[in-house]
């Protein structure tokens, strides 16, 4: 049975650290859901490349997005790889679609202008209330809520540090408020509710003894990410192999829309193993396929400045 809504809470920079953080609200929400802390980020492990893959279903080699580009121009209307926003607008011309993002380029540089996306960009602590209000009042078919404060804490203090983990705990409360908004809107049973991170990061020590964080490389701390899903057809337990781009396929499938045919060199988003009841399709390992792989990061670098 299809869902009528998909709500994705994106916790930027949380990597797989959600597994060890104090997240009582997410533990409660996803107690009977499907979870993995071993999904793969895009390569390089940078926000635009990773969120871009999630929203297009293809590798960074194909969608071509990076932090510099999305800060300068909107996503091309003539791209052979339209975003979920545009695909969903074609399927649901009269439904509400929303992107409430802390990081403004995730709106202005990723959502096509023709997709008619309702947008708002504020810092996490200011964004969550209007995001919840929007959910309750509009019941969108698709909503992506992006939170950036965890990544900011990682850059400033080092990923995995006490201050970083404390910020994850704060984000846990934001996720809870979004979920409660779905309940207040009366759409909980018809909603696939998900939490995902785009990348993690490392902890580096400065000469003065203080710490900072970086990402962009391929260490486990950077490339392993979290994905948590809850819905009436979601299996309870651990999800199998998964890549961040697969969320594009998951969204289409959940809303009853056809998922594009898997093609090396094109759409490579798939339905992860052990996610949905009644789905037992194959999952192809694409890690060794050059045309499906993400761009290789040659230099370790940090994506966003603090």
Q: Is 57 exposed, middle or buried (0-12, 13-18, 19+ CB in 10 A)?
A: buried
Structure-block tokens of residue 64? 């071509």
2 with 255: CB under 8 angstroms? yes
pLDDT band at 4 (very low <50, low <70, confident <90, very high): very high
Taking the C-alpha atoms of residue 79 and residue 64, their distance in angstroms, rounded to an integer, is: 10
pLDDT at 298 over 60: no
Return contacts of 179-183, CB within 8 angstroms, 24+ apart: 179/25, 179/29, 180/132, 181/131, 181/132, 181/133, 181/135, 181/136, 182/5, 182/7, 182/135
**CA–CA distance, 145 with 160 (Å, rounded to integer):** 23
Tell which wins on pLDDT, 231 or 264: 231
For the cut 90, the answer to whether the pLDDT of residue 296 exceeds it is no
**Residue 50 confidence (pLDDT) above 70:** yes
pLDDT tens per residue, range 133-179: 999 999 999 999 999 999 999 999 999 999 999 999 999 999 999 99
How far apart are alpha carbons 155 and 142 in whole angstroms? 30
Q: Which two tokens stand for residue 136?
A: 């309750």
Contact 60, 43 (CB under 8 A): yes
Assess whether pLDDT exceeds 80 at residue 279: yes
Confidence bin at 123 (pLDDT 50/70/90)? very high
Which tokens sit at 133? 């209000």
pLDDT (mean) for 24-43? 97
> What would the two tokens of residue 248 be?
């594009």
Sole residue written with tokens 């009366």: 186
Per-residue model confidence (pLDDT) at position 297: 38
Q: What is the pLDDT of residue 209?
A: 84
Domain map of the chain by residue range? Answer: 5-254
Of 173, 168, 228, 189, nearest to 8 by C-alpha is 228
β-partners of residue 203 are 213
Q: What is the pLDDT of residues 61-104, one digit of tens each?
A: 999 999 999 999 999 999 999 999 999 999 999 999 999 999 99
Average pLDDT on 182-204 reads 97
| Residue % of the chain over a pLDDT of 70 | 93
Q: Which CATH superfamily hosts domain 5-254? A: Alkaline Phosphatase, subunit A (3.40.720.10)
The predicted structure's pLDDT at residue 207: 87
| pLDDT bracket for residue 304 (50, 70, 90) | very low
Over residues 183-199, mean pLDDT: 98
């Amino acid at each position: 049975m299809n869902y009528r809504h998909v709500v994705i809470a994106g916790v930027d920079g949380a990597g797989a650290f959600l597994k060890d953080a104090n997240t009582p609200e997410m533990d409660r929400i996803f107690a009977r859901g499907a979870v993995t802390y071993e999904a793969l980020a895009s390569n390089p492990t940078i926000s635009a490349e990773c969120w871009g893959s999630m929203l297009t279903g293809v590798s960074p080699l194909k969608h071509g997005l990076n932090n510099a580009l999305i800060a300068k121009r909107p996503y091309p209307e003539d791209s052979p790889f339209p975003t979920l926003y545009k695909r969903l607008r074609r399927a649901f011309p009269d439904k509400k679609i929303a992107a409430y993002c802390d990081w403004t380029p995730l709106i202005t540089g990723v959502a096509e202008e023709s997709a008619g996306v309702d947008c708002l960009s504020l810092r996490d602590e200011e964004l969550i209330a209007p995001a919840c209000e929007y959910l309750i009042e509009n019941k969108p078919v698709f909503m992506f809520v992006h939170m950036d404060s965890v990544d900011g804490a990682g850059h400033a203090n080092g990923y995995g540090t006490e201050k970083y983990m404390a910020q994850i705990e704060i984000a846990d409360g934001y996720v809870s408020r979004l979920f409660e908004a779905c309940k207040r809107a009366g759409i909980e049973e018809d909603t696939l509710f998900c939490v995902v991170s785009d990348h993690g990061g490392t902890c580096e020590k400065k000469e003065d003894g203080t710490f900072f964080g970086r990402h962009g490389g391929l260490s486990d701390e950077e490339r392993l990410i979290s994905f948590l899903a809850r819905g009436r057809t979601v299996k309870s337990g651990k999800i199998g192999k998964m890549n961040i781009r697969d969320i594009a396929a998951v969204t289409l499938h959940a809303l009853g829309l056809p998922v594009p045919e898997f093609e090396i060199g094109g759409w490579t988003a798939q339905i992860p193993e052990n996610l949905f009841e009644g789905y037992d399709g194959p999952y192809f390992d694409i890690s060794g396929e050059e045309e499906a792989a993400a761009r290789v990061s040659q230099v370790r670098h940090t994506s966003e400045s603090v």
